[in-house]
Amino acid sequence: MTGANILLAIEAMSELDEMALAAREQGYSLRVLAEDARYYGETFAEVVEFPTRDDTELENYVRDNLSSIAQVFSVTDTWGVIASKLRDRFGFHQFGDTAKLEFFRDKQAVENELIARGFARPSEASQSGPKIMKLRSGTGKIGVHLVESEAAISEVVLNSGHSGPEFVVQDFYFGPAYSAEVWRDTEREIFFGVTNRILSEPPFFTEKVKSFPWVPNSNWERSVKDWVFGLLRALDYTLGQAHVEFIETTEGFRLVEINARMAGAMITPGILRTTNFNPYAMAVNQALGVAPCSETSRENQGGFSHVSIYADRTGTIRNIRGIDTLARFPGSPQWFPSRGQGDIISELGTYKSRIGNVAAIGETASIAQDRAISASQAIKVEIAED
């Protein structure tokens, strides 16, 4: 193969092998620039350690390798904007829209637009607490705070290293958490399904258990589908994959945030295993200007769930025990590591403190969830304080 045959991804999600296979089927080779290559585990995809948070270095890399790069993309929201800017800068096929990506990266801008269109109400309209305070461009539950007063808001700003305008303050919604996994572009709307998301107790908002697809083909799921696409149409969302987090309250569904990216953690592997859609191939095809898929009607087969294991203290990981025991549990549970022996845990309460995931399957998502929770209790992590 000669010429520009590198499909360059700036960071990624899980299952790099699936993306690499999809690229290969289209005649390209996937290369992933990664801040920490260990995060992606064992893969036959080419992973190059690189300072991906340095936009200037990214631009220089693309310029220096322009003759071999066919396209630049990212399935993440953190790097989606810079990837789009690089497409604009170097004349690659622009399958997205930089201005739209910047808009959906700004949680306050999205909130303001939804308020203007009657899909949300201003936080100050509800005088009673508590409130959720988070970074306007945050991700991975970083910088999320539960606050009860104006004084608490001021204290968060003071201790955060950020300015007040960098945060958005929203009502705290009482109810269970979910996310809708969808695709919407200028030609098609695809509803992958709903993920049930069990979160940790405040002050942290880490995702402990996620199960997919939650009650597929039910009236409840259809109401979620109608509500989500109503939001995305109102906002003219046409960027492809979207991960839409929401809470079910006594007053109906309430939006937490819209993420212009592939669903994180192991949700997308769940979609791959339980539906007739391959989001990894869809992302690759979109980047290459190929139709993302041949059909839009979903077919379901079974359920998938995973439990995320987090560090409960900072320090160095000394040992992870119980992996061999997973085979004794139902649901074919598997261990998917995010960290390993010798790795240093420097913060708690975000995805960066995740040690790994225990995933299981079942006839339904709820059965898979029971099995994943049970199996996860076999995993024991030893962390030595530094």
Which pLDDT belongs to residue 229? 98
Examine residue 31 and state whether it is found in any structural domain, yes or no. yes
81 and 118: one domain? no
Which pLDDT belongs to residue 2? 47
32, HSE (Cβ side, Cα atoms, 13 Å): 28
CA distances from 204 to 49, 53, 123, 208, 348 (A): 30, 25, 21, 11, 8
What is the rounded distance in angstroms from the CA atom of residue 330 to the CA atom of residue 260?
35
What is the rounded distance in angstroms from the CA atom of residue 237 to the CA atom of residue 147?
31
Which pLDDT belongs to residue 125? 53
Burial, 272: exposed, middle or buried (Cβ in 10 Å; 0-12, 13-18, 19+)? buried
Which pLDDT belongs to residue 94? 97
Residues with Cβ < 8 Å from 143, sequence gap 6 or more?
A: 134, 135, 160, 162, 167
Asked, as a colleague might, if the bond just before 130 is cis with ω within 30 of 0, I would say yes
Examine residue 267 and state whether it is found in any structural domain, yes or no. no
Examine residue 247 and state whether it is found in any structural domain, yes or no. no
344 and 370: one domain? yes
For the chain, 386 residues long, the average pLDDT of each consecutive 10-residue run is: 83 92 97 91 93 98 98 96 98 97 94 89 68 81 80 82 83 94 97 96 85 98 98 97 96 94 94 97 97 94 97 95 98 94 89 92 98 98 91
Instruction: Report the domain count for the chain.
Output: 3
121 and 44: one domain? no
For residue 43, give the CATH number of its domain. Answer: 3.40.50.20
What is the rounded distance in angstroms from the CA atom of residue 317 to the CA atom of residue 39?
15
Which pLDDT belongs to residue 140? 64
194, HSE (Cβ side, Cα atoms, 13 Å): 26
Find the domain containing 307 and state its range. Answer: 302-386
What is the rounded distance in angstroms from the CA atom of residue 228 to the CA atom of residue 81?
23
Q: What angle (nearest 5°) sits at the alpha carbon of residue 98, between those of residues 68 and 65? A: 15
For residue 167, give the CATH number of its domain. Answer: 3.30.1490
Find tokens 């010798």 and name the residue.
342
62 and 127: one domain? no
Residues with Cβ < 8 Å from 152, sequence gap 6 or more?
A: 145
Which pLDDT belongs to residue 156? 84
Which pLDDT belongs to residue 128? 67
Give the CA-trace dihedral at 212, 227, 125, 173, to 10 degrees.
Answer: -20
Examine residue 285 and state whether it is found in any structural domain, yes or no. no
Are residues 130 and 148 in contact, defined by beta-carbon separation less than 8 angstroms?
A: yes
71 and 25: one domain? yes
119 and 81: one domain? no
Examine residue 115 and state whether it is found in any structural domain, yes or no. yes
Examine residue 275 and state whether it is found in any structural domain, yes or no. no
Examine residue 266 and state whether it is found in any structural domain, yes or no. no
Examine residue 21 and state whether it is found in any structural domain, yes or no. yes
For residue 347, give the CATH number of its domain. Answer: 3.90.1170.30
